[in-house]
């Protein structure tokens, strides 16, 4: 599962460069749409490329070996752990361009996975969705995250959601008895927390991606789902009142001390656990925090809570992202590759693989061991997500966006000028 503390590193990829490079050089055939299905495989050898962590790669290899024993295949599993999107996708791209690419690879959605589809290096998996009934077994919202311009090019295995995680003690100290149901109530909650001597939300501005979670939420509130999505794709201009409002509120959160002092210079890995240690009331993060921050600190999950940030819109969405597997368009044995993916999607195997944000029905986190993560499994079933912004933008645009949000918080740029500047940034993306 992708941890929040290394997230920006995971997403440090020039997706635009990927798209341009692959489109120009690969000469790959069109996504087969399962057109290889039924053809005699060139061999029963498969290769799976992933960025599985060293702590869990053994589980994956054991599972794959069991599949091989049952299916007469020989699958080599290669992992590049910890490199994130700064390295892993470039390594994958180089292999694909060199003709030695894997049959199956793990990848993120959004502008990280999209270039492999645009370059026609990943298969259209629609026939396999039908063959294995994946549409009825996998979270629909997660499938949407691995669908690119209508092409189901990936099978999602992780669906991550960003929400508020809070200390019940901090809330009680401030006299807060319930979580906010509207943005206005969230602001009122922040004021009460400040008055009680507690920093409301702990976020770090170093690297840009952590504090971004606040701005993208504020944009969802001011713009609403339809306009927010159009802004991310450049279909609507950012130079508009809804964006100005979001940047105005963004600055407000800092000026009213709802963020930590000097938030822009803080490292997310240092401040995210502050809601667990009592230095802050809550943070904006994903389900990994239950094991990494709460339980690793020997705290009980019962002393903490989580809630979806209220947006005031229908549908009420949250920030999220997906990770999944793709099959190479040049794979010599796509049927066995698809069978391997179906095998890995078995609910009991998902638990063995320690996937706590599984997309598979029946593979939800153990409610008794990870009760708060389980809550998000239920939220994910009914609440769609908007693509987290550092996955929605190519790296170049993400870095420029981070600069804009930093300038706003430092008072170097007005919200109105920030909206204009973002339109310039996104316009350049559309021309790439």
Residue 150 lies in a domain: yes
Residue 310 lies in a domain: yes
pLDDT at residue 1, as a whole number: 35
Residue 24 lies in a domain: no
Residue 25 lies in a domain: no
Mark whether 395 and 362 lie in a shared domain: no
Mark whether 170 and 296 lie in a shared domain: yes
Structural domains in the chain (count): 2
Which portions of the chain are predicted below pLDDT 70?
1-42, 82-86, 430-432
Residue 102: which domain range? 45-160+321-385
Mark whether 412 and 338 lie in a shared domain: no
Mark whether 330 and 312 lie in a shared domain: no
pLDDT at residue 378, as a whole number: 86
Residue 315 lies in a domain: yes
Mark whether 251 and 114 lie in a shared domain: no
pLDDT at residue 186, as a whole number: 98
Report pLDDT digits (tens) over 10-31.
Answer: 333 323 323 323 322 222 333 3
Mark whether 189 and 313 lie in a shared domain: yes
Mark whether 217 and 275 lie in a shared domain: yes
Report pLDDT digits (tens) over 259-282.
Answer: 999 999 999 889 999 999 999 999
Mark whether 305 and 326 lie in a shared domain: no
pLDDT at residue 273, as a whole number: 93
Quote the percentage of the chain above a pLDDT of 70.
88
* CATH assignment of the domain containing 344: 3.40.190.10
Mark whether 278 and 408 lie in a shared domain: yes
Report pLDDT digits (tens) over 312-331.
Answer: 999 999 999 899 999 999 99
Mark whether 156 and 167 lie in a shared domain: no
Mark whether 378 and 398 lie in a shared domain: no
Report pLDDT digits (tens) over 38-75.
Answer: 455 567 899 999 988 777 889 999 999 999 999 999 99
pLDDT at residue 432, as a whole number: 62
Dist. CA 9–CA 84, nearest whole Å: 6
Mark whether 328 and 310 lie in a shared domain: no
Give yes or no for a contact between 180 and 166, defined as CB atoms under 8 angstroms apart.
Answer: no
Residue 218 lies in a domain: yes
Residue 225 lies in a domain: yes
pLDDT at residue 22, as a whole number: 30
Residue 40 lies in a domain: no
């Amino acid at each position: 599962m992708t941890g929040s503390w290394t997230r920006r590193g995971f997403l440090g990829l020039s997706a635009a460069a990927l798209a341009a490079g692959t489109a120009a050089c690969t000469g790959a055939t069109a996504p087969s749409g399962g057109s290889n299905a039924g053809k005699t495989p060139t061999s029963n050898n498969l290769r799976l490329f992933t960025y599985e962590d060293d702590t869990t790669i053994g589980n994956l290899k054991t599972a794959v070996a069991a599949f091989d024993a049952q299916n007469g295949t020989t699958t080599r599993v290669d992992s590049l752990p910890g490199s994130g999107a700064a390295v892993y996708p470039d390594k994958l791209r180089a292999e694909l361009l060199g003709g030695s690419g894997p049959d199956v690879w793990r990848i993120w959605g959004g502008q990280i996975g999209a270039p492999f589809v645009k370059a026609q290096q990943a298969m259209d998996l629609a026939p396999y969705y039908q063959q294995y009934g994946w549409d009825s077994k996998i979270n629909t919202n997660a499938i949407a995250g691995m669908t690119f311009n209508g092409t189901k090019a990936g099978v999602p295995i992780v669906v991550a959601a960003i929400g508020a995680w809070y200390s019940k003690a901090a809330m009680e100290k401030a006299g807060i008895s319930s979580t906010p149901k509207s943005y206005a109530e969230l602001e009122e909650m922040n004021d009460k927390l400040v008055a009680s001597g507690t920093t409301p939300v702990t976020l770090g501005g170093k690297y840009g991606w952590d504090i971004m979670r606040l701005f993208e939420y504020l944009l969802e509130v001011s713009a609403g789902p339809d306009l927010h999505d159009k802004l991310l794709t450049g279909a609507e201009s950012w130079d508009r009142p809804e964006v100005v409002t979001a940047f105005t509120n963004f600055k407000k959160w800092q000026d009213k001390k709802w963020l930590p002092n000097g938030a822009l210079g803080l490292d997310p890995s240092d401040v995210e656990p502050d809601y667990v240690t009592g230095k802050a009331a809550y943070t904006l993060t994903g389900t990994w925090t239950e094991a990494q921050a709460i339980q690793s600190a020997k705290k009980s999950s019962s002393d903490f809570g989580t809630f979806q940030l209220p947006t005031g819109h229908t549908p009420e969405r949250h920030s999220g992202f997906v990770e999944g597997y793709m099959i190479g368009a040049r794979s010599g044995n796509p049927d066995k590759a698809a069978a391997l993916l179906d095998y890995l999607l078995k609910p009991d195997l998902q638990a063995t693989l320690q996937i706590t944000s599984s997309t598979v029905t029946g593979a939800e986190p153990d409610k008794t061991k990870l009760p708060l993560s389980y809550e998000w499994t239920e939220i994910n079933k009914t609440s769609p997500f908007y693509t987290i912004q550092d996955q929605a933008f190519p790296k170049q645009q993400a870095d420029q966006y981070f600069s804009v949000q930093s300038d706003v918080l430092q008072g170097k740029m007005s919200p109105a000028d920030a909206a204009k500047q973002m339109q310039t940034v996104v316009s350049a993306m559309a021309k790439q």
